[in-house]
Amino acid sequence: MKTKIALLILFISGNLFAQEQKMTEAEIASFKQDVNVVAKKIKTLSTDFVQYKHLDFLSKDIETSGKMVFKEPSLLQWQYKKPYNYSIVFKNGKILINDEGKKSAVDIGNSKIFARINKLIIGSVSGNMFDDKEFTISYFKLKGQNLAKFIPKDATLKKYIKQIELTFDKEEATVVQVKLLESSEDYTRIVLKNKVINAKIDDSVFTN
């Protein structure tokens, strides 16, 4: 099964030659420490992102893009700017949505999964996600990058997300890509770029 999944991932990413090598225990420990050291320094983070929704039956991935802003301890905003304006804020345990000016609280369909993804993304910048009781985690090396794969333990979550993959830049030890694989062989891939760490970000950014 493991090899099957690994093969599938290779095919899906269309990246047969990017060798994915399992980390040794020592490498895992050092990778975790690197991420932790950097994460501890992060007070704020803002980054542009491009999201690719891949569905097997479509001829092209659906591409949307925008900006993500994070502020300690748990303020997070995802803002889609193209091709539409849609922003979602995680704040004090609430999820606020602004859909082209139309404001609301989160839909039931999103909340659970969103909350967990949110926790994972925040976890990956704050450095405590590797102790998460909710996932079985495996670690790999790529060229210039590290890869952590999270398989949900919870059966309900597993129905929607088969696996979450976080790719880290080796030098900076921060997340550069988030990939969410659904139970069928479809996935969402989010590429983070133009990262700015510890710029002053006002709390008012997180109103929607």
Which residues, listed in sequence order, are joined to residue 98 by a DSSP beta bridge? Answer: 87, 103
For position 104 contacting another protein by CB under 8 A, the verdict is yes
Token pair of 14 as six digits: 């269309």
61-65 contacts: CB < 8 A, separation 24 or more?
A: 61/189
Nearer to another protein, 6 or 55 (CB): 55
Distances, alpha carbon 152 to alpha carbons 73, 116, 161, in Å = 24, 10, 7
Considering only residues 8, 28, 113, 191, which one is a binding residue for another protein as defined by CB under 8 A?
A: 113
Considering only residues 48, 74, 80, 141, which one is a binding residue for another protein as defined by CB under 8 A?
A: 80
Which helix (H) or strand (E) segment is 157 a member of?
helix 155-160
Binding mask 128-167 for another protein (x = CB under 8 A): --------------------------------xx------
If you ran DSSP here, which 8-state letter would residue 106 be given?
A: P
For position 125 contacting another protein by CB under 8 A, the verdict is no
Q: What's the closest the beta carbon of residue 82 comes to another protein, in angstroms?
A: 6
Considering only residues 120, 188, 201, 206, which one is a binding residue for another protein as defined by CB under 8 A?
A: 188
24-33 contacts: CB < 8 A, separation 24 or more?
A: 27/139, 27/141, 28/139, 31/139, 31/146, 31/168, 31/173, 32/130
Nearer to another protein, 169 or 186 (CB): 186
For position 172 contacting another protein by CB under 8 A, the verdict is no
Considering only residues 69, 89, 96, 117, which one is a binding residue for another protein as defined by CB under 8 A?
A: 117
Query: In angstroms, rounded to a whole number, what is the distance separating the alpha carbons of residues 64 and 133?
Result: 32
Interacting residues with another protein (CB under 8 A): 50-51, 53, 55, 57-65, 78, 80, 82-84, 86, 88, 97, 99, 102, 104, 107-110, 113-114, 117, 160-161, 180, 182-184, 186, 188
